[in-house]
Chain A
Amino acid sequence: MRILERRAAPAEGAAASALSTALAVLAALAAGGLLFLPFGADPFSAYAALFGESFLTWRGLGFTLLKAAPLILIGLGTVVAWRTGFGFLGFEGCVMIGAAAATWVALMVREGQILAGLPFAAFLPLAILASLIAGGLWSGIVGLFKSRFGGNEVITSLMMNYVALLLVQYLVSGPLREPGGLPQSPRLPRETWLPQLFDGMRANAGILIALAAALVVWGLLLRSRIGYEMVVTGLNPRAARFGGVEVGRRQFMAACLAGGLAAMAGMVEVLGLHHRLIDGMSGGVGFVGMVAALLGKLHPLGVVIAATLYAGMTVGADAMQRQAGLPSSIVFMIQSLIVLFILAGEFFRRYRLRLPGRRTASAGEGV
């Protein structure tokens, strides 16, 4: 008797999806646990150190939230784009564009510039708006190519990443360069920095911005009429057209919003962490954010959880290496294993295992 059999219908629904994700994470942790053994380390205490550091200490939690904020924002952008059937991969570029826009606005708050003396409460909305618009325009180009000319957004958005990275490189070596210094912008005035969440904690208001964005995206995508049209477009463009949805317009909107959200991640990085525009500062966060969105099953709240978990593992990995001398690369392998196992989980929603014992049992009760 065959061991694998196709299910009559794929297992669907929130419960099946959550269960398969949870099992994938557990399986990845179990498989990853084996990697600790050659070092003579006990996997359980290694995991305790890993998660204890990143979630249970004040300092570690601060770092975790600091790293989670941009991942959440990028993950949300991914949710919006992919749920609308727009296979956008240009988040890395949008992060840089958003960072550049925020830097530009912040530098205008310096002494002698036009926005000098602007209070933070007025500056922050302005910075958010600037990064949203810059990122939205940037990804909107890709969206326009797609909805107007049918250009493949996967390729154009990937290419646009390079353009964005090189554009920022140009900015920090030319127009925005700190006089005499490295290829980076001048340090932003202190009054434009995102405030710390609590005194002595590394996390800043960026995580609040990210959580607010998650709430907005949840409301837009899952509760509003436009979100409904976007979701229908993503699931089935033909049904969307049938339902009077202007598919091209919705995809264009999704593209702009996705880019805008990723650009806000860039803003949070600049105003909260680096405090200046640096060449190559995004460092792949645009791609990790997509992974977080996948782990979060393209649900706004799932993204918050997955991004925080991912950030925590990264933070814990550093601590584990410092304290226990275990290589942090193990943690990155576990992160990759989680992704692999989640993809494998998709397979088991379509197929089921049939253990040979079961068949005999049910055959016995027959006739």
Chain B
Amino acid sequence: MTPFLSARGIVKRFPGVLANDHVDFDVRSGEIHALLGENGAGKSTLMQIVYGLYGRDAGEILIEGRPLDLRSTRDAIAAGIGMIHQEFMLVRRFSVTENVVLGLKAGGGLRPLDLAGPAREIAELSRRYGLQVDPSARIEHLPVGTQQRVEILKLLYRKAKLLILDEPTAVLTPGEAEALLKVLRTLADQGHAVVIVTHKLHEIMAAADRVTIMRDGRVVGSVKTAGSSEAELARLMVGREVALTARRSTRPAGPSVLRVENLTVGDDQGRRALDGLSLDLREGEILGLAGVDGNGQSELAQALTGLRAAAGGRVLLGARDLTRASPADRRSAGVAYVPADRRHVGSVGALSIAENAILGDQRAYARFGLLDRRRSRSFAAELMERFDIRPRKPEYPAGKLSGGNLQKVQLGRAIASDPRALIVEQPTRGLDVGAVEAVWAELLRLREAGKAILLISAELEEILNLSDRVAVIYEGRIMGEMSAAEADLRRIGLMMAGSHGEEVGHADP
């Protein structure tokens, strides 16, 4: 059977990087094909070439065996190739139908836009593929999972036969992710070709038929999932054996270090992001805070670190009331923070690694008002040595570091300040398996050293792997808290969706 799309010998150079090195890749109609690889392995570049966003230095692209003259995304769309990016391209104030026809010549000129016809067609598509999207609904009223299905509708309406999804489950709850994979299966069953770009191994095993693995710009393997395993995929992707589960010792938690009492905080729009939230973080434990993004996790982290003012409640470090303390005071009192947005909050991309390594600690590096650059450089060199940050050049701009290396800078900086409590937010988001392993190991080492760690994560796997206790946040409130032993995926998943998780017969602690 001829594949729907084949890429043959694709070469793509950027100055100093060979992003794609004679890559062969093909997708058949009716299959879900996963494209797996660490960050920087070249999988996004490959998909952007296929979608016409980038030109290529060599190689050809065939659609059903015929060469495709691909010059722009318009050519790609005309050939039946569609792509959904991580950030959705939707107009929030428009209806589903308006978003779907946006950019097509539906009315044209001065003639009024005909929306009734497209709306009927969209409803029909939605029914046929089990998308459950109401064409007249406004985007801003739809949950993220549904918005993603609107993106799928946009492609189907444009008669896409190949759908490429870049990290599609990153923004979804476990339930939504499951529903999406079901939709993708329906699409494949009806003859579409589906590519998911991801680094989540369990998802690939659950959903994909075949998987192509890339490393350092080359394809290192293309296998059927049925004959493979997570361990094999991880080994192919990283190039060595990796431990996918973190080993924790059992260790009794010590006295309380950081207490949050009835904290109420507003978000940027003035809505209530935290609503009387209480937590107790103890010495030598990792408290996992699970929740879908946007349920107040960021606001909690910001309120704990002084970046957001509390409207009510208290934050206590030991006996000291920090509720009104400045970020600098909290830091020197022993609260360290590793923000989720490492590129825009935790670091300054245009500055060097050395300059980023002292961010927050700049006072300690000043003598008579001047920064001691030799000391900051040697500190950065030390960090890079200890946490294996590459390239090992303190003068290298932080913005050019990979996500994993940048995260190690952030984490190393926080650890070096020898905090009593550490707040880490989405510490492994967007990191590849090798980097995840390193970050997890570091967090567990800190726990052994008796630090109190609040782990805020939307990745349940991470929460379950690392935490001693698990709390679930939903709309600014704690839905429930349980020890690691009682935590199970289903119960946490229900709480993340806003129910108290009592359906499974547990009472709240």
Instruction: Report A's interface with B, CB cutoff 8 A.
Output: 1-2, 5-9, 12-13, 219, 223-226, 228-229, 231-232, 235-236, 238-239, 241-244, 246, 352, 354, 359, 362-363, 365-367
Contact = CB atoms under 8 A, between A and B. Distances in A.
Given A354-B55, A359-B57, A8 B14 contact: yes
B396 to A, nearest CB: 10
B22 A367 contact: yes
Interface string B7-28: 0010101110101001000000
A224 B371 contact: yes
Contact of B370 (A219, A235, A242): A219
A224 B362 CA distance: 10
A235 B351 contact: yes
Nearest to B17: A8
Contacts of A8: 14-15, 17, 19
30 contacts: A1-B55, A1-B71, A2-B72, A5-B54, A8-B14, A9-B14, A12-B399, A223-B370, A224-B366, A224-B369, A224-B370, A225-B371, A231-B351, A232-B359, A238-B344, A238-B345, A239-B359, A241-B307, A242-B327, A242-B339, A242-B346, A244-B326, A244-B360, A246-B326, A354-B55, A359-B55, A363-B58, A366-B57, A366-B59, A367-B9
Contact of B57 (A9, A232, A242, A363): A363
Contacts of A229: 362
4 nearest interchain CB pairs?
A244-B328, A225-B366, A366-B58, A8-B14
Contacts of B57: 359, 362-363, 366
Given A228-B371, A239-B359, A9 B400 contact: yes
B334 interface: no
A259 B453 CA distance: 46
A236 B348 contact: yes
A36 to B, nearest CB: 37
B118 interface: no
A13 B365 CA distance: 25
Contacts of B17: 8
Nearest to B53: A6
A328 B363 CA distance: 52
A223 B355 CA distance: 11
Contact of B327 (A1, A2, A13, A241): A241
B362 A228 contact: yes
Contacts of A246: 326
Interface in B28-72: 54-55, 57-59, 71-72
Q: Which of B54, B349, B369 has the most CB of A within 10 A?
A: B369
B369 A12 contact: no
B348 A232 contact: yes
A5 B55 contact: yes
A9 B350 CA distance: 12
Q: Which of A2, A13, A241 has the most CB of B within 10 A?
A: A241
B337 interface: yes
B192 interface: no
Nearest to A223: B370
A137 B449 CA distance: 52
B360 to A, nearest CB: 4
Q: Which of A8, A244, A246 has the most CB of B within 10 A?
A: A244
B314 interface: no
A243 B14 contact: no
Contacts of A352: 15
Contacts of B350: 12, 235
Contacts of A12: 350, 397, 399-400
A8 to B, nearest CB: 4
B331 interface: yes
B347 interface: yes
A366 B57 CA distance: 9
Given A238-B345, A239-B346, A242-B307, A225 B365 contact: yes
Nearest to A10: B399
B11 A362 contact: yes
Contacts of B14: 7-9
A174 B17 CA distance: 68
Q: Which of A8, A224, A246 has the most CB of B within 10 A?
A: A8
B369 A226 contact: yes
B366 A236 contact: no
B360 A362 contact: no
Nearest to B72: A2
Contacts of A363: 57-58
Interface in B306-334: 307, 326-328, 331
B359 A242 contact: yes
A232 B360 contact: no
B326 A362 contact: no
A244 B327 contact: yes
Contacts of B366: 224-225
Contacts of B351: 231-232, 235
A246 to B, nearest CB: 8
A333 to B, nearest CB: 33
A226 B368 CA distance: 11
B58 A239 contact: no
Q: Which of B17, B22, B55, B359 has the most CB of A within 10 A?
A: B359
A239 B362 contact: no
Contacts of B341: 238
Given A239-B347, A367-B9, A367-B22, A225 B397 contact: no
A4 to B, nearest CB: 10
A13 B400 CA distance: 11
